[in-house]
Structure formats: structure tokens, C-alpha cells
Structure 1
Amino acid sequence: MTTTSAPARGGARVAVQRFGTFLSGMVMPNIAAFIAWGLITALFIDTGWVGQNGPVEAWRWADSRMLGGGETADGTLWVGLVGPIITYLLPSLIAYTGGRMVHGVRGGVVGAVAAMGVIVGANGTIMFLGAMIIGPLAALALKYVEKLWEGKIRAGFEMLVDNFSAGFVGFFAALAAFFWLAPIMKAVTNALGGAVGFLIDNGLLPLASILVEPAKVLFLNNAINHGVFTPLGSQQSLETGRSLLFLVEANPGPGAGLLLAITFFGVGAARATAPGALIIQFLGGIHEVYFPYVLAKPALILALIAGGASGVATNAIFQSGLVAAASPGSIFAVLIQTAPGSHLGVILSVIISAGVTFAVAAVILLAGRKRDLAREEAGQSGFADAIARNEANKGKASAATSVLGGAGTAAAAASTEGAVATDAKEIRSIVFACDAGMGSSAMGASVLRNKIKKAGIEDVTVVNKAIANLDGTADLVITQQQLTDRAKRQNPDAVHISVDNFMNSPKYDEVVEMVRRQHDN
């Protein structure tokens, strides 16, 4: 077992990254609920596909018997789902997830109870921001309160004390949220909404790309997207049935245009890997795959800003948008969440943003092509260094961008990771763990799962989870080097393996061999 500690780093950027990671950890596990709400909204609000005034008159087939006795076919039953889900269910889920990240399931329950205080106190204002604050805070309060009598409760009274302590913390947290936090968060949300409205009304929202596109490359997008655009976009969507804020950051057009330009006008390894990166970015929605190309040639950020701004401007002109957040930022997710009547504007925003980015990037690449070819011939392309800087910006190895490094990345991983130590513990359950438990860990789990399947091993499970959700049942936990210490604290009894990246690690073959030997014995 090999563990390598990440170098200590500080600064505002790292602090914002950590904050963004925590926000995404609350939102990302609940994206399915956002998608479900988006589908209900797109179909059944008054201007939806089957609403009273929608483009499809399919609503007329419904009668009182089909709607459950006494209900008329005016959309009341279905529209009644839209408001409660966005007002109560989604903030409660976010608060529960945040509380669980801090103090397990009980922390999640207390966080959800406390969230009802800020939800009701805000009187109809969507309280995503409030839920993101009160959920973790309530769980943290429970955690510290329970430390006061930890190990001092007489046997047989533990459940009684635990339940009542959580109940009282939830009670007081809900009251505090209702009387104190809700008015503050309502004012903050209204102020942010007013600022965004001012930008939209004055045609200034495209300028947001000046901040958003560089922030994406520096992995600061989670704090912006999940902390600002998703809450405000959801409020707009509830009121008007659509919001262009969902596409300010998630539009796959700028990244696609950049990668197309590199495919045609790039040089060396960048040009060779760009077509594959384009598929991952545009169809898979993993935008971070194009970040190393920008880091290798920083002037390309101008192309992304121009493309992003043109996409926002297109949606503003056509008054088009999505009904809910598109996550990941795949063209498929974007089309599924497109509001009725917005398809022309949304599709054009993707095409125009891609075209503008392509044109600007082509000019930049052609202007420096001779210099780039000379550096390539001298073995100084800088693309491999850009991949390393990209991982440094993220704060951990990137599974998405590791596919760009090819054999070289695997060789580097082999030289730095060391060997997997043998362990007497029988391996039946393998967990890949990362911050959110989704993108990179899911890709790593898929790689190892296929290797184990090809080896003919059938009774070993390989799954991916967020580190906060490790419950002590895993026999083997695989994490990126910077996260291993956190995983050990969460699941101390497991065998822990550190890797440089989740896609090309040579340790996977060693894990398969170790498991095979155990099963043969």
C-alpha cells in the first residue's frame, strides 16, 4: 500500500475550489431530482408541451376519472407538482446531503428538518442557498453537541439520548433558520436575482463569460454554477418556464469549437488527441477534458470567452433557455432540458458559440503555427506539462484528461505509484472514492470492473462513491493520492491504494492478480 501526501497549497483559488467542491457534493448527488423536476415542468406547466396553452393539445384526453376523481383536466393536478418539488423537495434534499456529508445520516436528517425553517420563512423564494448553509451547519451543531456526552451515557440509554439530542438540535435549528437565516437569505437571493435581471434587461449578461470561462479552466466553476446560476435559474424557470442561466456555464459549444479548431490547426500531441477529447466533451459533457489545451496556449481563453458570450447573447435574443440544470454539460442533457419553444434558440446558441470559438481559435493557432511547429520539433510542445498543470489546478489527478496523456501518462504513473502491497484481507468489495463520487471515480471503477470481468472473477463488486459516503463495508478503497488520508479516516479497516489517476494506473493489474490469488487459494 502506497500513500503519497499532496503538497501543501493555499491561497484564495484553493479556498474557492474547496468551497466549490463542497457545493457540488451537495448538488451533484441530487441532479436526478432536478432532471425529474425539469421534465415535469417542461410537460405540464401552462406553457408546457401538454399544458393548457402548450404546443400540444394532448391535455384534452384527460378526464376526471383519469385524474383521480373530481379533478378537472385543467392542469391543476400536474402543475401542483412543480411548485412543491422546487420549493420544498429539492432544497430539503440538498440540506440532507450537506448534513450527511458532515455527520452521517443523522446529520442529514437534522439538516433537512432545519431546512424547512428557511424554506417556510422565505415565503416562496427558492432556498437552495439557504439549504446549502443550514444543512451542514445543523449537522455540525449536532456533531459538537453529541461530543459533550460522548462515552458518558449509561448502557441502554444511548438510543434515547441520541434521538432526543438530534430532535432538539433540529427543533432549534429550524427555529433559527425561520426567524434569522430566512430573511437574510431571501434578501441575498432577491439581490442576486435583481443583479442578474439588470444584466439581462440591459443586454450585459454575455459579459459574464469574461469571468465564467477562465473560472472553468481553473476549476472554480462549481462555486459559480451551483452556488449562483442553478438557484437563480431555478427561480426564473419556476416563474417563466425557462432560464438562460442554465447555459451560461454548461453550454458545450465553446469547448467543441475549441477542440475542432485544434483538430484542424493544432500541432503534435494536441492535434492528435483533440478529436477524441471532442467526443468526450460534447457528447459526454466532461468539459475539463479541454482545459489542458488552454493551459498549453493561454491565448485560447479569448476564443472561449468570445464563444461563451455569443452563446449567451443568442439565448437572450431568442428568449430561450432550459427548464432545469443540464448536468453534465452534454448536448444530450441540454436538449432534454430545453424548454418548449426554445429549441431553435438553444440549438443556435450551441452552434454559434462553437462557430465563434472555432473562428477565433483558428486565428490564434494559425498566427503562432510556425512557432508551435518549431517547439514541437524541438520536443518542447508543453502539452504534457499543461496536463500536469491542469491536475494541479484541480487539486488532484483528472480521469478525464488522463486519457490525453496516452502511454506517457501510464509510464509516469508507473514510476510514481509504486507497487501494491499484498494484504491478508480477503477482497470482496472494491470502492473507488473521490470528492463527489461521480465523474472520475466512476470512470476508474469502470476500468477495473472490466479488467476483473475479463479475468473471470465473478464475486467481487466494484463501485464508486463519494468519500463522505464510505460506510466501512469496503474491503479495498482506491483513491487518488491527495485523498487517501481522508478515505482512511472514513474507512480505517479497508486496504487503501493510492493512484496518480483513475484511468491509466498500472496498479489495476496488480489488484486483479492479488484478487485472483486470493480466490485460487
Structure 2
Amino acid sequence: MATNVNVMDRSFKGKAALQKFGGFLAGMVIPNIGAFIAWGLITAFFIPTGWLPNAYLGKLVSPMISYLLPILIGYTGGKLVHDTRGGVVGAIATAGIVVGADIPMFLGAMIMGPLGGWLIKKFDEMVDGKVPTGFEMLVNNFSAGILGALLALLAFSGIEPVVQGFSMALGNLAIAVTNAHLLPLIAIFIEPGKVLFLNNAINHGILAPLGIEQVKQAGKSIFFLLETDPGPGLGILLAYWVYGKGTVKQSAPGAIIIQFFGGIHEIYFPYILMKPLLLLAVIGGGMAADFTFVLTKAGLVATPSPGSIFAEMAMTPKGGFVPVLLGIAVGAAVSFLIGSVILKRDKTEGDAGSLDAANEMMSMMKAQSKGQNVSPRAAADPSAKSVSELPRLIVFACEAGMGSSAMGESILKKQLKDAGLNIQVKHTPVNQIPPEAEVVFTQESLAARAAQVARAAEIVPIKNFLDKTAYETFVNELRNRS
């Protein structure tokens, strides 16, 4: 028994570390999605095969993808490590790697940005308290300038050729896989990865750079469709709506609106976690959709974010709507058919998932590692928690800090307002929970990472950010204590 617990503990820690790394990669890209969309719209409209071909306005396309987007990523990566100073040095270092490169240096930016931020952070720690009074600004400015210049020179002369060679090899491999019609098999890895909350890392950290390089050559890319396709998730939710039981069946229609039209794919992950066999449904749907995309030569001009049907259509090039819509529809249909068979054969109630015991054990082990003596139920159920005083800041944390956490924040804010409680509530990525947070709501699978970031906060793991009953119990407890 002890051996099994140790194995599970190592598994949870390993998954938390993988999610943390993937979240960091995505954290460099997600804040800059607006810039990617701007570039995608300019590309879709003004390139020679666009909606409104214009050679003059089309001059914006190449500089934006070659310089603006990588430097933004490098700045963001450095800032994640060491705030604004890290961002500035990271941007300088990234400039060194993009100059002279024949391809967009997104991979290089993801290396040089955090490296620049880390090095200037270590310098600041080394000289902390040792700079004479009055020389602080001089040391700060020149240290950033000198270190940034050295990194730019190093990146330009030494790192850029290596990264460019690796990027080109990776791109050629991806194109070869596509030409060999083997791309649909990638759904075997993408769909389970999404459910483990690695969706942003897969999309923005791996597929987006490949897609952008392909857009430069072909004007569109299938790689933008592989993770963002809302079809497989839609099929799962439709299957629950038709063949589900209990409150899960009743919640499916609302989840469909949020997932398919709002683009928040995280909403369907708990539905799969309740019945892990449904992974076969999303894998099958993903493979069918990807095969259709390959067969019809579908592609988008930029990453649709969030993965809404509206965003998919906005990023579709001229003449490409039928292939994209057909692939999404096929993916949804196949996922629905497989999911329906699984749900019809399932004899359990809709409110009791087969992962509940494992999730409670994970939460209990996490609580025990922090020195808390709790029962499995108390560790996984927010209603079992007590609050001795009103917190000043409550944070909702998800992988990207944009979709599901924002929905949870909105629900709790309304309930706190109705209860007459004036407490600040905000949402953030799980890697960037502010140190002053006193209560953190997060998905059960992200609880370990949240506890690592917010060591002094009370971590409240929940299965579904749309579960109002968890918040009602929490607010009632706060009201009793106030």
C-alpha cells in the first residue's frame, strides 16, 4: 500500500512539473495573442491570396512576424522571470536572435527571453545591498544594457544558427508527416494532453510556431486547427446531453454554449475526467477531424484564441470555410458516436465519476504534505473547509488565467455582492498567483502547482468552475464568520 502511495505521489509531482513547464511556455505567448490575431487579420486580408490583396499594406506581414512577435514573446518570457527589467533584457537578447534569421524565431525567443530575465535577476541578487547610495539608477541601467548587449551578440553569432537549424528540421519533419497523411495520429497525444490541462502549452508552445512558418510558405496552416478544433469536445458534451444522467446531463447544454461558442475548452475536461474511457471518443473525433482537414487541405492563417467557432471562422482564409467547417463537423460526429456508446453502456450515476476517489486521494496527499491532518472528503470538498476570518484577496487560478478561472471569478463575485461581503476577487494563471492571495480556487489537477506558488494561501480544489453550490457553501461560511 505504501509503495502504491509513493508511486501515485511521484506521478502527481511529475505531472505538476510538466504542467508547470508547459504553463510557462504558454505564458510567454498567451499575453500576446492580440498581436498574433492582428498579424493574422492583416495576413488574411492583404497577402496576394487574401480577401483584399494589397501589395502596399501587405508589407506589414513580414516585419511583424519576423521582429514584432518574437520580440514580444522574448519580452514576456523575461518579464515572467524578473518583471520589467527581465523583460527588457529578454527583448534585447531576442533581438539578437531574430536579426538575420530566415524564419520566425519563436523558439529562439522562448530561449533567449527567459535566459535574459534569469541572468539579470541573478545579477540583481548578487549586488543587492552592495550598491552605494545614489548610484542605484546608474548600476541598474548599465547592468541591463551591458548584459543585454552581450546576450544579443551571443545570440546573433552563436545561438541563432543552431536554433534556426533545429527549427527548420522540425518544420521539415512536420511537413513530411503531413504529406505522408500521418498527421491524424497526432490526436493520440493532443487530446489526452488537453484533458491534463496541457492544452495551452501544446497549442501556443509547439503548434503555433510550426503553423506560422507554414503560413509564410503556403498562406495557411493546418497546425492551427489541430488543438483548437472545438469538434471533439462538442461531441462529448452532446453525448452527455442525450445519454447522460442526473445533473451532469442538465449542465451539458450550458457547457456546449461556453465551449463551442465561447471557446473555453476547459469546460468539457471534467466531463471526461469523470469517465476516462471517453478519451477514446475525443481521440477518435480528433483523428477523424484531422484526417478531414488533411484530405480537404484545410488551414487557418493564425491561431484562433480562444478556440471558438467564431475565432475559427475569423482566421479562415478566403475560400477555406467549407474544409474547416467540414472537419469540425466530422470530429464532433465521431466523438458523439463513440461517446454515446460509452455512456449508454455505463451503469453509474451521472454525479459519481470513476476518478473521484483518485482526485480525493491526491488532494489528501497534498494537504498532508503541508502538515494538515484532513480526511479525503475535507481535502477535496470546499464545503468542508472553514474560514476563521474574512480573506482580503480570493484568486481563481487556471492554466492560462483567461477562460475557466474568469468564469469562476464572475460567479463568486456576484454571490459575494449579494451576501454583502466586500472581498477582492481576481483571476490569474496558476504560475502567477499573487503572494498576497489568501484563498485560491483551482482545478483539482492544478492544486499541487497552486500550492507551490501560493504557499501561504488556502487552496480550494474544485472539479468544475461552474459549480455554484461550492461557492454558495463557501460564501455562507464567510457570512457566518463576518
TM-score range, shorter chain: 0.7 to 0.9
TM-score (norm 2): 0.83
1:43-192 matches, cutoff 5 A: 43-51=45-53, 75-121=54-100, 123-192=101-170
Task: Give the counterpart of 1:229 among 192, 207, 212.
Answer: 207
Task: Report the alpha carbon displacement of residue 139 of structure 1 after superposing the two structures with TM.
Answer: 0.7
| Aligned-partner Cα distance in 2 for 1:21–1:395 | 24
SS of 2:189 mapped into structure 1: helix
Q: Which has the larger radius of gyration?
A: 1
Tell me the alpha carbon deviations over residues 428-472 of structure 1, each in whole angstroms, 9 at most, x when there is no partner. Answer: x76655553322432232123323544578x97644334666778
| Aligned-partner Cα distance in 2 for 1:391–1:125 | 47
How many residue pairs get aligned? The number is: 455
Q: 1:421 matched to which residue of 2?
A: 389
Unaligned runs of 5+ in 1: 1-6, 52-74, 398-408
1:499 aligns with 2:460: yes
Q: Return closer, same or farther for 1:487/1:364 CA change in 2, 3 Å cut-off.
A: closer
Tell me the alpha carbon deviations over residues 480-501 of structure 1, each in whole angstroms, 9 at most, x when there is no partner. Answer: 4646656657xx9xxx554334
Which residue type is aligned with residue 460 of structure 2? V
Task: Report the alpha carbon displacement of residue 334 of structure 1 after superposing the two structures with TM.
Answer: 1.0
Q: 1:29 matched to which residue of 2?
A: 31
Q: Return closer, same or farther for 1:313/1:511 CA change in 2, 3 Å cut-off.
A: same
Tell me the alpha carbon deviations over residues 337-360 of structure 1, each in whole angstroms, 9 at most, x when there is no partner. Answer: 111111011011111111122223
Q: 1:438 matched to which residue of 2?
A: 402
Which residue type is aligned with residue 46 of structure 1? P
Q: 1:344 matched to which residue of 2?
A: 322
Q: Return closer, same or farther for 1:437/1:287 CA change in 2, 3 Å cut-off.
A: closer
| Aligned-partner Cα distance in 2 for 1:354–1:306 | 10
1:322 aligns with 2:300: yes
Task: Report the alpha carbon displacement of residue 50 of structure 1 after superposing the two structures with TM.
Answer: 0.8
| Aligned-partner Cα distance in 1 for 2:59–2:233 | 38
The alignment-based identity, stated in percent, is 46
Query: Which region of structure 1 is more displaced relative to structure 2, 478-487 or 303-312?
Result: 478-487
Q: Return closer, same or farther for 1:192/1:185 CA change in 2, 3 Å cut-off.
A: same
Q: Return closer, same or farther for 1:105/1:388 CA change in 2, 3 Å cut-off.
A: farther
Tell me the alpha carbon deviations over residues 302-340 of structure 1, each in whole angstroms, 9 at most, x when there is no partner. Answer: 222221122112222222211111122111211111111
Q: 1:71 matched to which residue of 2?
A: none
| Aligned-partner Cα distance in 2 for 1:357–1:313 | 14
Unaligned runs of 5+ in 2: 1-8, 367-376
Which residue type is aligned with residue 177 of structure 1? A
| Aligned-partner Cα distance in 2 for 1:291–1:471 | 26
| Aligned-partner Cα distance in 2 for 1:513–1:434 | 28
| Aligned-partner Cα distance in 2 for 1:11–1:357 | 31
Tell me the alpha carbon deviations over residues 7-55 of structure 1, each in whole angstroms, 9 at most, x when there is no partner. Answer: 776565443222111111111111111111111111111111111xxxx
Q: Return closer, same or farther for 1:150/1:479 CA change in 2, 3 Å cut-off.
A: farther
Tell me the alpha carbon deviations over residues 213-258 of structure 1, each in whole angstroms, 9 at most, x when there is no partner. Answer: 2222233333332222100101112322211111111100111112
| Aligned-partner Cα distance in 1 for 2:249–2:258 | 15
Task: Report the alpha carbon displacement of residue 475 of structure 1 after superposing the two structures with TM.
Answer: 8.4
| Aligned-partner Cα distance in 2 for 1:144–1:132 | 19
Query: Which region of structure 1 is more displaced relative to structure 2, 208-217 or 284-293?
Result: 284-293
Q: Do 1:296 and 1:386's aligned partners in 2 also have CA atoms closer than 8 Å?
A: yes
| Aligned-partner Cα distance in 2 for 1:276–1:387 | 23
Task: Report the alpha carbon displacement of residue 212 of structure 1 after superposing the two structures with TM.
Answer: 1.4
Task: Report the alpha carbon displacement of residue 89 of structure 1 after superposing the two structures with TM.
Answer: 1.1
Task: Report the alpha carbon displacement of residue 297 of structure 1 after superposing the two structures with TM.
Answer: 3.4
Q: Return closer, same or farther for 1:392/1:169 CA change in 2, 3 Å cut-off.
A: farther
Q: Return closer, same or farther for 1:298/1:447 CA change in 2, 3 Å cut-off.
A: closer
Q: Return closer, same or farther for 1:315/1:299 CA change in 2, 3 Å cut-off.
A: same
Which residue type is aligned with residue 109 of structure 2? A
| Aligned-partner Cα distance in 2 for 1:438–1:394 | 24
Q: Do 1:16 and 1:223's aligned partners in 2 also have CA atoms closer than 8 Å?
A: no
Q: 1:255 matched to which residue of 2?
A: 233
Q: 1:279 matched to which residue of 2?
A: 257
| Aligned-partner Cα distance in 2 for 1:392–1:174 | 48
Q: Do 1:128 and 1:231's aligned partners in 2 also have CA atoms closer than 8 Å?
A: yes
Task: Give the counterpart of 1:204 among 175, 178, 182.
Answer: 182
SS of 1:250 mapped into structure 2: coil
Q: 2:19 matched to which residue of 1?
A: 17
Query: Which region of structure 1 is more displaced relative to structure 2, 279-288 or 325-334?
Result: 279-288
Q: Do 1:291 and 1:390's aligned partners in 2 also have CA atoms closer than 8 Å?
A: no
Q: Do 1:431 and 1:477's aligned partners in 2 also have CA atoms closer than 8 Å?
A: yes
| Aligned-partner Cα distance in 2 for 1:212–1:475 | 33
Q: 1:386 matched to which residue of 2?
A: 355
Task: Give the counterpart of 2:428 among 457, 462, 465.
Answer: 465
Which residue type is aligned with residue 381 of structure 2? A
Tell me the alpha carbon deviations over residues 71-111 of structure 1, each in whole angstroms, 9 at most, x when there is no partner. Answer: xxxx2331111111111111111111111111011101111
1:450-489 matches, cutoff 5 A: 450-454=414-418, 462-466=425-429, 478=440, 480=442, 482=448
| Aligned-partner Cα distance in 2 for 1:107–1:386 | 41
| Aligned-partner Cα distance in 1 for 2:454–2:284 | 45
TM-score (norm 1): 0.78
